[in-house]
Structure 1
Amino acid sequence: MASTSNSNLDTSTDEKVASSESESALETARRQLYHAAAHLDIDSNIVERLKYPKKVHEVTVPIKRDDGTVEVFTGYRAQHDSVRGPHKGGLRYHPEVTRDECVGLGMWMTWKCAVMDLPFGGAKGGVAVNPKELSSAEKERLTRRFAQELRDVIGPNHDIPAPDMGTDPQTMAWLMDAYSMQEGETTPGVVTGKPPVIGGSEGREEAPGRSVAIITQLVCEYYDRPLDETTVAIQGYGSVGANAARLLDDWGATIVAISDVNGAMYDPEGIDTASVPSHDEEPEAVTKYADNVISNDELLTLDVDVLIPAALGNVLTKENAEAVAADLVVEGANGPTTSTADSILAERDVAVIPDILANAGGVTVSYFEWLQDINRRAWSLERVNDELETEMQAAWRAIKTEFEQRDVTWRDAAYIVALSRIAEAHEARGLWP
C-alpha cells in the first residue's frame, strides 16, 4: 500500500470533504491547458485561442408551472472548440449551473474527445434549476422550450447534446422530438443518450462504468497486479460506480467497499455486487444491505489496492490526500481530485488515472450512437462493447507512450495527448480569415 502520514481527516461525517483549495471548472481547465502546453513545442497563439470558448449562448427559459404561474429560468450552451468536428457535451439541470461552469466543462469535453481521438470538439450546457422541484410535466415543458431556444445552435453536424446531471434518456427524447418537430423531419442525431427505441445506442448508460473497469484492468496489468489479487473500494454506486464494480467483480477483483450518499458498505472479504441495487435500481439502498457501514470519508482512506472515486467532484483534497492508502486511483467521477491533492498524491507515488480517460466511455458510445443515427443502422450490444474496448485500449496505449517517454504523471500524459491532437488540427486548418 502507499505510504501514509498523520492527517486531520474528519471521518465523522458522510458528506464530502469541503475543499478549501478547490477551483472552478474554468480555472481547472485553463490550468491543465497551460500545464500540458509547457511539455509541448506548440504555437503559443493556439494556446491563447484554446483559453476561450468559441461561443456561449445564454437564454431565458420561461415555463408554465402546474399551478398556472409562469417561472423563468436561465439556460446556457458553451461551445468551446470545433476544430476536429461538431461540438459534443452534456446538458445538466442543476441550481448551480453557471456560464463559467459550462465554459470550463466544455473545455474538458474538448480534451476528453481528443484523448479518445473522436471527431468532436467540446461543449457543455444546462439550466439553472432544481429538477427535483419539477413535476415530470414541468420538466418536459422546460426541456422543449430549452430545445426551441437552442434550436439554431445545435444539430447533428454542429452541436450534439447528451444527458448529464439532472437529465436522462427521457430528457434527450423530449429534446430530440422538439427539435425534430421544428425541423419538419425526425433527426435522431441531434442528441445522444436517447432510449434505443428512438435511435439511442445499446450500452450507452453503462458505458462510463464499463470504461472505468476496462482502464482499471489495464492499469493493474501495467503495474503487474493480477485482478484476482486486487482489492478495490468504490465511492458512488450510481451508473458509473455500480457498473464498474460489477464488471470488476466478474473479472475477479475483490470489491471491499461501495457507497451512496448515506454511507459505505464495507466487507474486507469482498462484496457480492450483483446483490446490492444500484442507485438507478433502488435509490440510496447501499447501507440497507450492509452489515458493516462506514462513512464515505473513511472509504477514501481504506487500505486497498485501487480507489475509484465515482460520485462527486473535489472529494480528494489537501485535507485527506496524505491519508489515501491505495496505490492506484482511477477517477470515475469528473474532477474528483483537486489540484493540491493531485500534487500530494504524485509526490507519494500514487498513480492517478484521470477522468478524461477513465470515464470517457460515455462520450465514446455517444459517438457510436451518432454514427448509428447518421447511417440509420443499429449496432448490437456486443458490437458496442467490443468497439468500446478497442477504443479504450487505443487511448490507453497513446497515453502510456507519453507517460513512459516524458516521465510525467498519467494526468499530464493524457493532456499532452489531447493537446497535441488539437494543436495539430489547428495548425492544419489555420486561422480564418
Structure 2
Amino acid sequence: MATITLEQEINPWEAQAARFDFAARKLNLDEGLWRVLRYPSREIIVHFPVAMDDGRIEMFTGFRVQHSFARGPAKGGIRYAPDVSLDEVRALASWMTWKCAVVNIPFGGGKGGVICDPKKMSIGELERMTRRYTAEIVEFLGPEKDVPAPDVGTNEQVMAWIMDTFSMHMRQTVTSVVTGKPITIGGSRGRKEATGRGVSVVCDEALKHLNMQRDGCRVIIQGFGNVGSNAANLMMQKGYKIIGIAEYDGGLYHPNGIDIPSLIEYRQRNGSILGFRDAEPADPAELLCTDCDILIPAATENVITSRNADRIQARIVCEGANGPTTAVADEILAEKKVFIIPDILANAGGVTASYFEWVQDRQGHFWKEAVVNEQLDSILAESFDDVVRYSEAHGVNNRIAAYMLAIDRVAVTIKQRGIYA
C-alpha cells in the first residue's frame, strides 16, 4: 500500500471508498453500477438560525446525506457533535446502505448531523435547533423517503421533536417518519438495547465458529454508552467475563470480571465510571491493547489505527461502533490473524430493530419485547453465517465479504429495477 498520512488514514469517506472499491473489484462489478453505488444519491447542506436562551441568534450547519434508495427509503441516524463533517456523514450514509443490505432489510442508507455541542446547550436550545433543522430538510423526509434515528448526541426525545415537527408540516401524525422514539408515541420495545444485543449475538456466533468457549471468555469494551453498556450487561448474563471498560475520561480493569449492573448503576449516579471501587483504574488507550479474547470498540470512529493495531492482543475484534478500524489497521490485524466482525454486521442490531419499529408504526400493531428479541437474534445469526460463508467462498476477510455481499444485493436490485432515463 502507498504511504499515506494519518489524516488520510482516518478520513471516514476515504476509508469507506477504499473498502468499497476493493470489494467491487473482487465482484467484477459492472463499471456503470460501480459509479452508481460509489457516490450518494443526494447531499443536503443547510445553514439555519436558532434563537439562544440569552437572546443571541446563532447560525448552525446541518447535513443529511441519502446514499441509496434502491432497496427502500434511506435509513440512518442523526448526530449532534462539534466535529460533524460532510465526509463523516457521507461515509456513515454509505455504511448504512451496506449495513441494511447485509442484514437484508428493505432500506437504503442515510445519515444526518448538525455541528454543535449538545452538552453546552439547554433543552430549549436543543429543541429549537432540532425543529428548525427538521423544517429545513422536511421535504426530503418521510416513511417512504428517509427515516432518521438517534445517533451520537441525540436520543428518543430528539426523535420525538423531529416526529412532531414533521407531523405539524404534514397536518397529521406520522409516527413512522423516525425510529428510536419513546414507546408512548410509537417506539418499539427492545429498541434501546438492540445494538448491544446484536453485538452479543454475533460474538456468540463467532465463538461457535472458532470453537471457543463462552464461559469465562475475556472481553474488553471501549465505550460505555448505550451500545457498550447494553452489550456488556447482556454478555455478562451469558457468562462472558468483562475484564475492561475504556471510556473517554478513563478506564477500569479487573482480571476476574467487572460487575456490570453495579457499574451501570454507579455511572447513572455519578455521571462517570471513574471512581468505581470494584475495579482498578486503567489507561483507556492501554486497555485497547490489553490481552483478551474479544475486544469491542463501541464508541467512535478510528480507535484502531496504524499506531496501535500491531499491539492489539484480542483474538476477536467485534465492531460495536461505526468505522472504529482504519483500512491500514485492517491489514495489520489480518497479518495477526485477528477475527474481525465488521461494523456493518456487528452493530446492525440497531437498524434491524429500527426496521421493526417502522413496520409496527405502519401496521399500528406493536410486538412484545420477546418477539422483537427473537426476530433480532434470528436475523443477526443468519447474517453472520451469510458473511462467513461468503468470506470462505471468495477467500477474503469478513469485512470485504460483508461489503461484497451487500454490494451484490444492492447491485442486483438496481439491475432488476433498471436505470430510469
- TM-score, L = length of structure 2: 0.96
Structure 2 CA distance, aligned partners of 1:253 and 1:283? 25
- How far does residue 367 in structure 1 lie from its aligned partner after superposition? 0.3
Distance 1:134 1:54, change over 3 A: same
Corresponding position: 1:66 with 2:53: yes
Letter in 1 for 2:246: S
Indicate the residue corresponding to 1:364 in structure 2: 352
Letter in 2 for 1:230: C
- How far does residue 259 in structure 1 lie from its aligned partner after superposition? 2.5
Letter in 2 for 1:102: V
Indicate the residue corresponding to 2:363 in structure 1: 375
Structure 2 CA distance, aligned partners of 1:360 and 1:196? 21
- How far does residue 100 in structure 1 lie from its aligned partner after superposition? 2.4
Structure 1 CA distance, aligned partners of 2:271 and 2:19? 35
Structure 1 CA distance, aligned partners of 2:50 and 2:8? 38
Corresponding position: 1:175 with 2:162: yes
Indicate the residue corresponding to 1:39 in structure 2: 26
Structure 1 CA distance, aligned partners of 2:86 and 2:268? 29
Indicate the residue corresponding to 1:296 in structure 2: 284
Corresponding position: 1:209 with 2:196: yes
5 Å matches for 1:12-161? 19=6, 22-161=9-148
Corresponding position: 1:414 with 2:402: yes
Letter in 2 for 1:342: D
Contact 1:83-1:426 within 8 A present in 2 as well: yes
Deviation readout 1:256-294 (Å, 9 max, x if unpaired): 111222222111111211111275665212543344111
Indicate the residue corresponding to 1:305 in structure 2: 293
Indicate the residue corresponding to 1:12 in structure 2: none
Indicate the residue corresponding to 2:247 in structure 1: 260
Corresponding position: 1:342 with 2:347: no
Indicate the residue corresponding to 1:15 in structure 2: none
Letter in 1 for 2:212: R
* Higher relative contact order (Cα pairs below 8 Å, separated by 6+ residues): 1
Percent of residue pairs bearing the same amino acid type: 44
Structure 1 CA distance, aligned partners of 2:35 and 2:323? 23
Structure 1 CA distance, aligned partners of 2:215 and 2:386? 26
Structure 1 CA distance, aligned partners of 2:61 and 2:251? 36
Indicate the residue corresponding to 1:283 in structure 2: 271
- How far does residue 42 in structure 1 lie from its aligned partner after superposition? 2.4
Q: Secondary structure at the match of 1:233?
A: strand
Letter in 2 for 1:95: P
Letter in 2 for 1:259: A
Indicate the residue corresponding to 1:269 in structure 2: 256
Letter in 2 for 1:292: E
Structure 2 CA distance, aligned partners of 1:83 and 1:359? 22
Letter in 2 for 1:274: P
Structure 2 CA distance, aligned partners of 1:393 and 1:286? 35
Deviation readout 1:364-405 (Å, 9 max, x if unpaired): 100000000000111111111111001101211111111111
Letter in 1 for 2:128: R
Q: Secondary structure at the match of 1:149?
A: helix
Letter in 1 for 2:296: I
Structure 2 CA distance, aligned partners of 1:204 and 1:299? 29
Indicate the residue corresponding to 1:384 in structure 2: 372
Structure 2 CA distance, aligned partners of 1:50 and 1:414? 15
Contact 1:327-1:351 within 8 A present in 2 as well: yes
- How far does residue 121 in structure 1 lie from its aligned partner after superposition? 0.4
Indicate the residue corresponding to 1:243 in structure 2: 230
Indicate the residue corresponding to 1:221 in structure 2: 208
Structure 1: tracts of 5 or more residues without a match: 1-17
Deviation readout 1:384-430 (Å, 9 max, x if unpaired): 11110011012111111111111211111111110110110111111
Distance 1:181 1:132, change over 3 A: same
Structure 2 CA distance, aligned partners of 1:195 and 1:281? 22
Contact 1:211-1:359 within 8 A present in 2 as well: yes
Letter in 2 for 1:394: E
- How far does residue 298 in structure 1 lie from its aligned partner after superposition? 1.4
Structure 2 CA distance, aligned partners of 1:71 and 1:291? 44
Letter in 2 for 1:382: A
- The number of equivalent residue pairs is 416
Structure 2: tracts of 5 or more residues without a match: none
Indicate the residue corresponding to 2:220 in structure 1: 233
